[in-house]
Chains A and B, each alone.
Chain A
Amino acid sequence: MTVNRRTFLQGAFGAVGLVMAQGALSKLVYAQGASGTLRVAIAKPAGNLDPQSHYAIWAIQDLMFEPLVKYGRGGQIEPCLATDWKIEGGGKTLHLTLRQGVTFQDGTKFDAAACKWNLERWMGLDQFSWMNCSKYFESLEVVDDYHITLHFNEPVLALMQELSYTRPPRFLSPMSVGADGKFKEPVGTGPWRQVKADDTESAFERYDGYWGDKPSYERLEAKVIPDPRSRVAALRSGEIDLVGGFWIAPLTPEEAKQLEAAAVNVVVDPGNVTLVMAFNPDRAAALKDSQVRKAISIGIDRAAISQVLYHGYAKPAGNLFSSALPYAGKQHGAPVRDAAAASALLEKAGWTGGPIRSKDGKPLTLEMVVSPDAVPGSRIIAEVIQSEMKEIGIDLVIRSVDHASKHTDMLEQKYDLGFFLTYGAPYDPFGSIVGLCLSTFKNDVEGKLVTDPVNLDPLINAATAATGDQIEPTIQKVYDWLRDNDAIAPLVYVPSIWAHSNRVQGFTSPVTEYDMPYENIVLAAE
């Protein structure tokens, strides 16, 4: 057969028609198979769901396992498996009243015995000593079927916040473990029961014996789509309904903007995580001078970064924590870029000349370590800062490394300037203050944002030892010290970005980045 114009055109039209028909058909099939099912994208398989291990996607564990208390908006502690709690003995005793009529998904009753079995799996163990309630745990006593009392040998800071964490404090059915007491199957008290889990998806069915408000749809499927562009394409083709979440399947501001342009529903929450720049005066002597640190801080155009790189979804940060968190302290506006003032500060500090300033014959060169895998978008932000630093006479060298090297470099302090993300709700403010700023606290994962054993440690210790009304003024002193000394440079509050299909109605952003926001969703009929 020879190809002439007619056969070519016939063939081309036929092919285009076929593709369009297939597209329409596949949409129809997706929709049909999905009625009553919420399909969420996850970036990697859900992993080992054991609430006492650290491998799974938090939000998947959140579907099945519940805590004693929930972390609500603005840090409000809300009842969950415990209906009432009382802290006595100066913070050393916790009386818990457990919810009645709760059963695990395998039919086992949730009572004081089940609660005790769960708490003893992790409280007081070395492995979990990063949590104060585990570090100071003394004893546990069952009062009756629905009352339990915990004793600690020290007052526990942010005790109820800690009990709301996803792991390890969530509750697993005592019947779901193997003979050796090790985790076997994920059986919790939550509204979703796992029916399937493999490398391509995890599927859940509604647990009809759930004690609380049951979801309005029967099934939830978490589909593994590792590539960000494929996730966005899947949402647009109707293959999935919901995508987003920092730890679930992150959407970049650019992707969100493109989705918005394509009339997809995008929900942006100001978020409760802060992107902070750390100074390392131990390695770069120039950074020992607070004037240099201040010059760098006011030399950065936070407004432009949030406007151009985050497309306006992020807010410039003037504090370590945003007001979305409890005890976030007095909120200051973000520093406005002032190149002239920054240059003047550097002159005053003795760094003169140009185009790169120098002092005692040494040029003002600083190295910034970035890892876009660890902190999304950090390399581009670094490039912007690099160009802004050049304008005020600082030579900034960018060293981009992979995720693992970033962790080791930060731990070994092999950087002059680096990026940190605060932990966010429910861990903050104390999680980041202790984990990233207290020199005596061992942090083997992120390294330290800033430490000062002489000046900062006493302030942090006072804040963590404070109770009641004393917490606010003592923690404010920590924030004031950080601010007055320009010890850190908060850049932006990282937004929480989600996008969903038209089937999803009533969506609200999750309270923390560790929750799956399934709760208020109603699926529209198509």
Chain B
Amino acid sequence: MKNLKPLFARLNKIPRAALITIGLFVALGTFAPWLAPQDPSAQNLLEAGSGPSAAHWLGTDHLGRDTLSRLLIAANTSLVSVGSVLGIAMTIGIAMGTIAGYHRGWVDDVLMRVVDVGLSIPSLIIALAVIGIVGPGYWTMVLALALAWWPMSGRISRAVAVSIMSKPHIEALRVLGASPWRIYFNHLLPGTIGAVMVYATADAGVAALAVATLSFLGLGIQPPTPEWGQMLVDALPYLESDPRQVLLPGLALTAAVIGFNTLGESIALNRIPKPLTRRTLAARRIEVAGWGKESLDAK
């Protein structure tokens, strides 16, 4: 329990709303297959577009499928696909970045120019091009997005790696005769991963949006797998007659994206010392004044 205290202290600094949203997203996404009350792809055309009822808490979609189950399973789809995209992208990015940061010199130059090329093309365009060549599908989409995503984490991890490498303890390790492997795996890599993970949190929202965008265009996740972007595009024709069908996946997607962005932002901000507010300053002054009194009392 004691070990968890600092963790709770850190979590407390994060906006509660974002924490709850993302917590829910991750929890629901992970346990969706057990939580979904009905088969998300079971159709009942006779019940198409019906409103909330005891059998379907959030109503049904245009093909009579249970909206709640679809939203839940879609959270799972998004979680898995975003996780895979970021996982693959960060693996490539961190590997490239740390190698560049460790080695410097021409290796650094070559790798960073490759990163520059990757960064200069909008990520969605790279993804569209890859899907255009390979053909649409779940794993194609994940790979295409990962391919579009890695240069960013490559650039960041290189910057972090360079700063770690210039720290005195690395120099000390070298002087003590630590092997390159030891420096790389025991000191450089763990430090870089920690820093880059923070950026990944903020990126998760954008990645979720990219997955939804590709599915919206019909190039991502293929039916019948539920996905928020897909649900949105399917519901668009019914925007006027049954806005519920558009609003629900839209809200879910918005909440996840805003949640990730706020979370990422606050984690990043927590790492920077905050300027002191007037109230803390006043509190400190009182405290300092107290010290004087204490020393007087001691006498």
Query: What residues make up the interface of A, taking CB atoms closer than 8 Å to B?
Result: 229, 252, 254-255, 257-258, 261, 301, 304, 307-308, 372, 379-380, 382-384, 386-387, 390, 397-402
Contacts and interface: CB of A to CB of B under 8 A. Distances in A.
B240 interface: yes
A258 B240 contact: yes
Nearest to A308: B45
A399 B138 CA distance: 11
B224 A400 contact: no
Contact of A387 (B41, B218, B222, B240): B41
Contacts of A400: 136, 218-219, 222-223
Contacts, number: 57
A491 to B, nearest CB: 15
A386 B41 CA distance: 10
A401 B218 CA distance: 7
Contact of B45 (A304, A372, A386, A397): A304
- Dominant secondary structure at the A interface: helix
A312 to B, nearest CB: 12
Which of B135, B218, B219, B234 has the largest number of chain A CB atoms within 10 A?
B218
A380 B45 contact: no
B48 interface: yes
Nearest to A229: B239
Given A372-B218, A398-B224, 14 more contacts: A255-B237, A308-B45, A380-B62, A380-B63, A384-B63, A387-B41, A387-B63, A397-B222, A398-B223, A399-B137, A400-B136, A400-B223, A401-B135, A402-B218
Contacts of A399: 135-137, 222
B3 interface: no
B213 interface: no
A254 B223 CA distance: 21
B218 A379 contact: yes
A387 B136 contact: no
Contacts of B63: 308, 380, 383-384, 387
A506 B225 CA distance: 47
Contacts of B45: 301, 304, 307-308, 384
B240 to A, nearest CB: 5
Nearest to B222: A398
Contacts of B239: 229
A301 B44 CA distance: 12
A257 B62 CA distance: 14
B218 A261 contact: no
Contact of A254 (B46, B137, B237): B237
Interface string B34-67: 0000000111011010000000000000110000
Interface in B236-251: 237-241
20 contacts: A254-B241, A258-B240, A258-B241, A308-B45, A372-B218, A379-B218, A380-B62, A380-B234, A384-B45, A386-B224, A387-B41, A387-B63, A397-B222, A398-B222, A398-B223, A398-B224, A400-B136, A400-B219, A401-B135, A401-B218
A23 to B, nearest CB: 18
A21 B218 CA distance: 42
Nearest to B234: A380
B241 A384 contact: no
B220 to A, nearest CB: 10
A156 B135 CA distance: 43
A-B interface, 3 closest residue pairs, ranked by CB to CB distance from nearest: A400-B218, A387-B43, A254-B237
A258 B219 CA distance: 29
Contacts of A308: 45-46, 48, 63
Interface string B205-229: 0000000000000110011100000
B222 A384 contact: no
Given A308-B45, A400-B136, A400-B218, A379 B223 contact: yes
Given A372-B218, A399-B136, A254 B238 contact: yes
A301 B45 CA distance: 10
Contacts of B135: 399, 401
A387 B42 CA distance: 7
Nearest to A401: B136
Contact of B223 (A301, A382, A401): A382
B247 to A, nearest CB: 17
A402 B128 CA distance: 12
Contacts of B42: 387
Contacts of A307: 45
A386 B62 CA distance: 15
Which of B41, B43, B63, B239 has the largest number of chain A CB atoms within 10 A?
B43
B239 to A, nearest CB: 8
A383 B224 contact: yes
A343 to B, nearest CB: 18
Nearest to A400: B218
A304 B46 CA distance: 8
Which of A254, A255, A307 has the largest number of chain B CB atoms within 10 A?
A254
Nearest to A372: B218
Contacts of A380: 62-63, 234
B242 to A, nearest CB: 10
A318 to B, nearest CB: 20
Interface string B137-167: 1000000000000000000000000000000
Contacts of A257: 241
A133 to B, nearest CB: 40
A252 B241 contact: no
A257 B41 CA distance: 26
A307 B48 CA distance: 11
Which of B45, B136, B224 has the largest number of chain A CB atoms within 10 A?
B45
A380 B45 CA distance: 12
Contacts of A304: 45-46
Contacts of B234: 380
